[in-house]
Amino acid sequence: MPQKECAFFLGANSRHGFASLFEDLCAEQPARDVYMIKGGPGCGKSSLMRNACEPLIRAGEPAEYIYCSSDPGSLDGIVLRGRNAAVLDATPPHAMEPDFPGARGGYVPMPGFADCAALREKYPALQSLAERSRAHYAQARRLTCAAAQARDAVCACAAPVFDAARLARRAKGIIAREIPRGSGAPGIVRKRFLDGMTPRGLMRFDCTIDALCSRVYELSDSLGFSHVLLQPLLEGAVQRGCDVYACLSPVDPQKLCHVLIPELSLGFVTVHPAQPGPRTPYRRIRVDACADLGAQPGLRGKIRLLSRMSRSLLDDAAAELRSAHALHDEIEALYLPHLDFAALENTARSLHDALAH
């Protein structure tokens, strides 16, 4: 039976601009072989990754697919968990360099283009498209920041009537019931984005939850307090020896959105009206129930207004990302006729051989 796809983002179009977890992935396993691809737009990086890695995945290699939040149909990397290896796009905005090329992974330079003279003639068009695309990304960041500020205002309004201690007690009970004590070293924290602010809007990889967790606690949270429960759950699981996926908010990466514990087949997933749960949960926790919104006159109406503002601003940000993505597609279309496909296939075979041994 084919394995369900395990997919994440490592980059996010956040309130602070582009947020990257690429370096975190490289650091979480010091002995990991990381092959870093260097190449410009439209040079075949995504195809190279698939052609090099998917024969191993079809043969049963457990893998994580890393997708691009600015283009969820395009790959930013593949992690081969059984081989402790990864292939990553190491070009801006997540540029990286290998620490010990040759000893632990290394560079994967893309082959040159077949007709550079023709590309030089296209330079003015490429430059214009890139400038217009950057302008849309800048506007998307401003709108995302404004949406996050509206969410901050929701939290600030609800904070005086929110019982954080009640949620902390709930976390202790879940840890005692669901997470057995280990006898070894603390677990590993793997930082990922399960959600992304994308041209399609705010999206979540529900396939990953299905692949890793048969039991899911659904945390119903429209006020922005689920991290109060998630943080002690994350710390408790790690202290008890579990390796954990700490899935951060793509809009505000300082906050936890979800915690996945694959070895226990257990997940804690935040849901809200704009992004409901992936399936019938194992348990439901109403985080909102810890806030007494009736304690202050007009509080519910104020929160509804701010929440609508936030959702509308995120919709506008997604529209800007769609415009930026369309322009990027035009850039790639200008490059495509000049790819050296034979050289690209040879590079993929060489990379596959390096991963297979």
Q: How does pLDDT run across 110-126, given as a tens digit for each residue?
A: 888 878 899 999 999 99
- Beta-bridged to residue 75, according to DSSP, are 67
Q: Look at residue 162 and tell me whether its pLDDT is greater than 70.
A: yes
Q: Annotate the chain with three-state secondary structure.
A: CCCCCCEEECEEEECCEEEECHHHHHHHCCCCEEEEEECCCCCCHHHHHHHHHHHHHHCCCCEEEEEECCEEEEEEEEEECCCCEEEEECCCCCCCCCCCCCCCEEEEECCCCCCHHHHHHCHHHHHHHHHHHHHHHHHHHHHHHHHHHHHHHHHHHHHHHECHHHHHHHHHHHHHHHCCCCCCCCCCEEEEECEEEECCEEEECHHHHHHHCCEEEEEECCCCCHHHHHHHHHHHHHHCCCCEEEEECCCCCCCEEEEEEHHHCEEEEEEECCECCCCCCCEEEEHHHHECHHHCCCHHHHHHHHHHHHHHHHHHHHHHHHHHHHHHHHHHHHHHHHCCHHHHHHHHHHHHHHHHC
> How confident is residue 1, by pLDDT bands cut at 50, 70 and 90?
very low
pLDDT value at position 152? Answer: 97
- Beta-bridged to residue 218, according to DSSP, are 269, 284
Residue closest to 271 by CA, chosen among 259, 257, 260:
257
> How confident is residue 189, by pLDDT bands cut at 50, 70 and 90?
very high
pLDDT value at position 3? Answer: 63
332's CB contacts (< 8 A; 6+ apart) are 41, 42
Looking at beta carbons, which pairs linking 205-209 to residues 24 or more positions away fall under 8 Å? 205/7, 205/8, 205/9, 205/67, 206/278, 206/279, 207/4, 207/5, 207/6, 207/7, 208/5, 208/6, 208/7, 208/8, 208/260, 209/260, 209/267, 209/269, 209/278, 209/279
- Per-residue pLDDT reduced to its tens digit, 77-88: 999 999 999 999
pLDDT value at position 116? Answer: 87
> How confident is residue 40, by pLDDT bands cut at 50, 70 and 90?
confident
- Per-residue pLDDT reduced to its tens digit, 194-226: 999 999 999 999 999 999 999 999 999 999 999
Domain boundaries, the chain: 7-114+340-356, 163-290
Percent with pLDDT over 90 in the chain: 84
Question: Are the C-beta atoms of residues 79 and 66 closer than 8 Å to each other?
Answer: yes
Q: What is the pTM of this model?
A: 0.94
pLDDT value at position 295? Answer: 86
Q: Look at residue 42 and tell me whether its pLDDT is greater than 90.
A: no
pLDDT value at position 283? Answer: 95
- Per-residue pLDDT reduced to its tens digit, 220-269: 999 999 999 999 999 999 999 999 999 999 999 999 999 999 999 999 99
Percent with pLDDT over 70 in the chain: 99
| Higher pLDDT, residue 24 or 184 | 24
Provide the 10 A C-beta neighbour count for residue 81: 15
What are phi and psi for residue 335, nearest 5 degrees? -80, -35
pLDDT value at position 112? Answer: 83
pLDDT value at position 243? Answer: 95
- Two tokens at 77? 């990397």
Q: Which residue has the tokens 């109406």?
A: 301
> How confident is residue 109, by pLDDT bands cut at 50, 70 and 90?
confident
Strands 17-20 and 11-14, sheet pairing? antiparallel
- Per-residue pLDDT reduced to its tens digit, 284-330: 999 999 999 988 999 999 999 999 999 999 999 999 999 999 999 99
Judge residue 301's burial from the number of C-beta atoms within 10 Å of its C-beta, 0-12 exposed, 13-18 middle, 19 or more buried.
exposed
> How confident is residue 182, by pLDDT bands cut at 50, 70 and 90?
confident
> How confident is residue 183, by pLDDT bands cut at 50, 70 and 90?
confident
Residues 148-155, mean pLDDT to the nearest whole number: 97
